Amino acid sequence: MVKPRPNISEFVKYCNSLEEQTILIVEGKRDTNLIRKLGINAIIIEKSGFSIPELVDQVFRFENIIILTDFDAEGKRLRQLIKKEIQSRKGHGRIDSRARQILFIFCRTFNITEIEDLKRFIPLNYY
């Protein structure tokens, strides 16, 4: 039996199905722009410009927190640091790993390690 090929719309649908109290953490402005062009409506905050404790001050009380850093070694390290800091706070929201997992499977299929490289899957008329 052939496994279905991962689809970027699965990631978008999942993110948009979450409650309003969801925040998505990305590394920078290019990632934010790309996520918006994919059609995701969640609140997005960029790591750039914040220390990890400052970033977590902004997000830890949201009901759902999606950490969407790149899939390279630095992105993995950053995700672990953010996750650890969130979990050290009393009353923190749920860290949602499902969205990242869906996107990781898709990105692995196309050898993509950086979120901004998903731009090749956005229709040309979007630019």
Q: What is the pLDDT of residues 76-122, one digit of tens each?
A: 999 999 999 999 999 999 999 999 999 999 999 899 999 999 988 88
Q: At residue 20, does pLDDT exceed 90?
A: no
Is 7 inside a domain boundary? no
Is 87 inside a domain boundary? yes
Pairing mode of beta strands 22-26, 94-95: unpaired
Q: At residue 3, does pLDDT exceed 90?
A: no
Task: Give the CATH number of the domain where residue 113 resides.
Answer: 3.40.1360.10
Q: At residue 35, does pLDDT exceed 80?
A: yes
Structural domain boundaries enclosing 109: 12-119
Q: Tens digits of per-residue pLDDT, 64-77?
A: 999 999 999 999 99
State how many domains the chain has.
Answer: 1
Mean pLDDT of 6-13: 86
Q: Which of the pair, 6 or 61, is modelled with greater confidence?
A: 61
Q: Which two tokens stand for residue 111?
A: 């050898």
Q: At residue 48, does pLDDT exceed 50?
A: yes
pLDDT band of 127, cuts 50, 70, 90: very low
SS (H, E, C) 72-101: CHHHHHHHHHHHHHHHCCCCCCEECCHHHH
* Residue that is written with structure tokens 């090929």 in the block: 5
Is 6 inside a domain boundary? no
Is 124 inside a domain boundary? no
